[in-house]
Chains A and B, each alone.
Chain A
Amino acid sequence: MYRIRFHGRGGQGMKTASRILGTALFLEGYEIQDAPRYGAERRGAPIFAYVRADKKTINERGIITRPDLIIVADDSLIPVPAAGVLAGIVEHTVLLINSDESEQTWQHRLNIRNKIITLPVETEDRAELRFIGATCTGAASRLLGIISLASLEQAIKDELAELGPQIIDKNIHKAKQAYEKVAPNENCVSQGSEITAGKYLPPDWIDLPFEAAHISAPNVWASATSMKVNTGVWRTLRPIIDYERCNKCWWVCSTFCPDSAITVDESGQPHIDYDHCKGCMICVAQCPPHAIETISEQEAAAQDKLKEEETTS
C-alpha cells in the first residue's frame, strides 16, 4: 500500500491536492482513500491530508503513521510541533518540500538521511500561491511513478470542474511543470513493509490515576489567554496600511477586524497588531479609501529582512 501525507496551511488547497492525487490513482486502477484532517476550520492553521492507494480493498483508516511520501506545501510548518510534519517518518520516507532551501540544508537542519526533493517557491506573484496544490500533486505523481500525465490531467479536470476551464488549464500547466521538473527522481517512492502480528512493539498502556477536578477538568481559569497565542503566524497574507492614503476615519478597519487586532491611537491613526492579525483581509475589503494593501507573507518577510539590513549597515 502507498501511504502519502500532505501538509499545508488552511487555505493552501491541501484537501484539493490530496483529492487530485487520489482521483489520479483511482484512474490508474488503484483502490484509494483520501481525507483531510483539521481542527477548528481556519485559514493559515496547519492541516494535513492523506492518501492511501493499494491494489486491494483498503481497510486501514485514519492517520498515516509510516508515510512513504510526505509533501510539505509550506516549509514554515516544519518547525511547528503541532503540524507534525515529520511524524512517523521511517527510513524509506521521501520528503517533497516546497522550499527555496536546498535538499542538503533540510537534511542537515532536520538531521535526517531521508531522500528530500525541494521545489523552489514561486511566490513573487502572490496569485501563484493558489497553485501550490497542483504543483505538489504534479511532482508527487512523478515521484510515485505510477501516474500517467493523462490521468493527472483528467484528475485535475474532475476535481476542479466547478472552477472553469481557465483555472483548470493553469493548474494543469503548473502540475505538468512540476511533473517534468522532478523527472530525475521518477519512481523514487516505494511502498513500506507491513507490520506483522508475529513481531510488534506492544503499546505502553497505563492505568490513569484519579485526579481531582481542579487538575482533571478541561478548564483554564485565566483571563486574556488569547493574547498569549501568537495567532499572527497563521497568516499567509499581510495587510499593510498606507498612512498617506488613510483618512483617519478612526473606526472602520478597527471595528470590522474580527480579532480586535487593529487599534487606533489618539491621533486617529490605526495600527495593526501583527502578532495577532490572522490575515483574514476583512480590513482590506472594508477600508473606504482603499488604504490597506495586501502582500504575501513571503514577500513581507523579504522586505523586513531588507529593512533590517539597511538599519544595521
Chain B
Amino acid sequence: MTRQLLTGNGAAAWGARLAATDYIPAFPITPQTEIIEALANWIDYGEMDTRMVTMESEHSMITAAGAAAATGVRVFSATSSQGLLYAMEMLYTVAGWRAPFVLTNVSRGLAAPITLESDHNDIVAARDSGFLQLHCSTCQEVLDNTLIAFRLAEDKRVRLPVIVNLDGFYLSFTREPVELPEASAAKEYVGEYDPENIQFRASAPVSQAVAVLGGSPYSYFRYETHLAVQNGLTVFNEVADEFAEKFGRQYKTVEAYRMEDAELAFVMMGSFSTKAMEAVDKLRDSGWAIGLCRPRMLRPFPIKQFQEMLSHIKGIAVIDQNISMGMGGVLHTELMAAMYGQPDAPVISSFIGGLGGRDITMEEFFEMANTARNAVEQGQAPSPRLLYSENELREMRKLQSIAKVERDELGQSSGENSGGNTHE
C-alpha cells in the first residue's frame, strides 16, 4: 500500500477503478467533473477496461446506470447538486428496479441563488429515494467507502443503489494523503458482482417489464424496498468489518470521536465534522467532557446506534449543513425522532451552518458547545440558530445597496419605494 496525495474527486475515481467497474454513464457538472475526467483518461490510456458513455443529461445518465446494472454489470456514476435533482425522477425509478450500482454525489448548494460550494440540500433531497447513503469526511473515506458501497449495493439482502457523498471544494478539490489499496487486494475485496436472477445476454435479448399496479401490490413492493434499505445497517457492518480486516481501516454506521466519557456532543455529517474533531480536542484541552457523533449513513438511518451512543449524553449540538424550508435542519429533525421517548433523553440544540460552503469557525464550535451546555442547565433547548454574524449582514447590506444604486441609476426601479435596504 502506498500513501499519496489525492483530491476527494481523485479518490472517488480510484474507488471506481479499483472496484473494476464495467460501465460508467457520465454527465459533467462542477465540482464533480474531475471524477469522470480522471476515469476517461484511464480508459483512454488502456488502464481501465471499462465502457464510458457521455449522456445528454443526468436524467438519462441514471436511467442508463440502472439499465446497465439490470443487465448484470458493475456500474459507477457521479453527479452533483442540480444534476442529482435533475435525475431525481430516475433515482426513485432505478431504486424501484432494485438495480445495484454506486453513485458519487459531490455536494453543492442548490439554486437559486447559484453557488458552487458545498451544502447538503442536494443529497438530503435524495433521502427517500431508496438509495442508501454513505457520507464521507476525508478523501481516504471517499476511496474506502466507494469500495464498501459496491459490496453494500450488490449484497442480496440489499440489492439497491448506493450514493457515496463528499463535499464540494472541502473534499472534491482538496488534496490529502490517501492510502491507495493494492489493485489485487481491492479486487479481491469487492469480488465479482453476482447478479443472481439476472440472465441478460446480448445474444438472447429480454425486456425488463415493470408493471402498472394498484395500491396493494404497490405497497408490497415499496415496503420490500424499505426493508432492503434497513438491511443496509447489518450488511454495512459486515462488509466494513471485512474491509477493516483487509485494509486496517474501520468504518461504522455512526462514528464516535472521544465519546467515551462525554457529557456533551456535536452531531454532524460531512467534511466539516473533521473541524468538529479539532474543536473537540481543543475543548477537551480546556476541560470539557465533549465528543463528536457523526452519522456515516443517513439512509438507512441508524436509530439504534444513535440511541446507544447518545443515551448517556446530557446535551447535544446538531449542526445541519442543510435547511428544510419551513422546518429547519434535517439531521436535527431525524435525531429528535430517534431520541424521542428515550429515558434521560439529551437536550438537543439545533444549528444551521455552512450553507453554500460558508465557513464554520473554531470559535463558533466553542460557542455551540457553550449553548448546548447552557441548554442542559436550563433543561430546555434554545430556538434553532443560523450561524450568521452581524458582520455578514453588514456585508449583505452593502451588496443590497449596490444593487439599489444600480437599479436607481439605470432607471429600472422594481416598483417598490423602499428599494434594497430596510435600514434607510
A-side residues, CB < 8 A to B, are: 19, 22-23, 26, 31-37, 39-41, 58-63, 65, 194-198, 200-209, 211, 214-215, 218, 220-225, 228
**A61-B275 contact, Cβ under 8 Å, with A205-B389, A211-B422, A221-B412:** yes
Given contacts A62-B275, A206-B389, 6 further A-B contacts (CB under 8 A): A39-B116, A61-B272, A61-B275, A197-B285, A222-B412, A225-B410
Give A215 to B416 CA distance when docked, in angstroms.
Answer: 9
B191: CB under 8 A from chain A?
no
- Write the nearest CB–CB distance from B345 to chain A, whole angstroms: 26
Contact B177 A31 (CB under 8 A): yes
**A204-B391 contact, Cβ under 8 Å, with A196-B285, A221-B407, A228-B406:** yes
**A203-B363 contact, Cβ under 8 Å, with A35-B175, A58-B176:** yes
Cβ of B285: which chain A residues have Cβ within 8 Å of it? 196-197
Of the candidates B174, B175, B282, B403, the one whose C-beta lies within 8 Å of that of A61 is: B174
Contact B422 A37 (CB under 8 A): no
B278: CB under 8 A from chain A?
yes
Of the candidates A19, A35, A215, the one whose C-beta lies within 8 Å of that of B420 is: A215
Contact A197 B364 (CB under 8 A): no
B386: CB under 8 A from chain A?
yes
- In the assembled complex, 14 residue pairs joining A and B whose CB atoms fall closer than 8 Å, in A order, are A22-B175, A32-B5, A33-B174, A35-B170, A40-B116, A41-B30, A59-B275, A197-B283, A202-B367, A203-B389, A206-B388, A206-B389, A208-B386, A222-B407
Cβ of A58: which chain B residues have Cβ within 8 Å of it? 176
Contact A220 B391 (CB under 8 A): no
Size category, B interface = 35 or more
B196: CB under 8 A from chain A?
no
Give A197 to B400 CA distance when docked, in angstroms.
Answer: 35
**A205-B388 contact, Cβ under 8 Å, with A197-B283, A222-B410:** yes
Main secondary structure of the interface of B (DSSP, over half): mixed
- Write the nearest CB–CB distance from A67 to chain B, whole angstroms: 14
Contact B5 A220 (CB under 8 A): no
Give A205 to B359 CA distance when docked, in angstroms.
Answer: 14
Cβ of A31: which chain B residues have Cβ within 8 Å of it? 177
In this complex, which of A32, A36, A39, A61 has the most chain B Cβ atoms within 10 angstroms of its Cβ?
A: A61
Cβ of A203: which chain B residues have Cβ within 8 Å of it? 361, 363-364, 367, 387, 389
B333: CB under 8 A from chain A?
no
Give A242 to B271 CA distance when docked, in angstroms.
Answer: 53
Contact B282 A214 (CB under 8 A): no
Contact B170 A59 (CB under 8 A): no
**A19-B389 contact, Cβ under 8 Å, with A221-B407, A221-B414:** no
> How many A-B contacts if CB must be within 8 Å?
128
Q: Can you list, as one digit per residue, whether each of B383-421 has a CB less than 8 Å from chain A (1) or not (0)?
A: 001111111010000001001001100101010101011
Cβ of A65: which chain B residues have Cβ within 8 Å of it? 359, 361
Cβ of B175: which chain A residues have Cβ within 8 Å of it? 19, 22, 32-35
- Write the nearest CB–CB distance from A220 to chain B, whole angstroms: 5
Contact A215 B388 (CB under 8 A): no
Contact A61 B391 (CB under 8 A): no
Give A35 to B176 CA distance when docked, in angstroms.
Answer: 9
Contact A194 B282 (CB under 8 A): yes
**A220-B274 contact, Cβ under 8 Å, with A61-B174, A195-B362, A205-B388:** no
Contact A215 B422 (CB under 8 A): yes
Cβ of A221: which chain B residues have Cβ within 8 Å of it? 407, 412, 414
In the complex, which residue of chain B has the Cβ closest to the Cβ of A65?
A: B361
- Write the nearest CB–CB distance from B410 to chain A, whole angstroms: 4
Cβ of A61: which chain B residues have Cβ within 8 Å of it? 170, 174, 271-272, 274-275
Contact B112 A218 (CB under 8 A): yes
Contact A208 B359 (CB under 8 A): no
Cβ of A201: which chain B residues have Cβ within 8 Å of it? 363
Cβ of A36: which chain B residues have Cβ within 8 Å of it? 173
In the complex, which residue of chain B has the Cβ closest to the Cβ of A209?
A: B422
**A196-B389 contact, Cβ under 8 Å, with A59-B277, A228-B406:** no
In the complex, which residue of chain A has the Cβ closest to the Cβ of B174?
A: A35
In the complex, which residue of chain A has the Cβ closest to the Cβ of B363?
A: A200
Contact A197 B288 (CB under 8 A): yes
Cβ of A41: which chain B residues have Cβ within 8 Å of it? 30
- Write the nearest CB–CB distance from B347 to chain A, whole angstroms: 19
Cβ of B410: which chain A residues have Cβ within 8 Å of it? 222-225
Give A84 to B171 CA distance when docked, in angstroms.
Answer: 22
Cβ of B112: which chain A residues have Cβ within 8 Å of it? 218
- Write the nearest CB–CB distance from A296 to chain B, whole angstroms: 29
Give A196 to B155 CA distance when docked, in angstroms.
Answer: 46
B200: CB under 8 A from chain A?
no
Contact B5 A223 (CB under 8 A): no
Cβ of A196: which chain B residues have Cβ within 8 Å of it? 282, 285-286
Give A148 to B324 CA distance when docked, in angstroms.
Answer: 51
Cβ of A228: which chain B residues have Cβ within 8 Å of it? 406
